[in-house]
Amino acid sequence: MSERINSSPSFGAAVRLCRLRPRLAACLLGLRQRLRCHAQRRLLAEMDARMQRDIGADPGAVWRETHQWWWQL
């Protein structure tokens, strides 16, 4: 008697994977947005006071913005 080897995922697992994919994509897009925001904050922090004044940024607002964690929007 030959034994049947089922290496493919079950139908239930495939359905769960299809449901997970949009959530995973949304999480990755959110992560990408947070990392872009973090990169912009780093650029803002690297500007000197004159450049910050040129773009109309308040020093207090710049400090608050640049001292947020990377995951905060």
Instruction: Please give the Cα distance from 61 to 73 (Å, whole number).
Output: 14
Q: Digits of tens for pLDDT over the chain (73 positions)?
A: 445 555 556 767 766 767 778 888 888 889 999 999 999 999 999 999 999 999 999 999 999 999 999 888 7
pTM for this entry: 0.65
Coil, helix or strand at residue 20 = helix
Closest CA to 66 of 45, 40, 47: 45
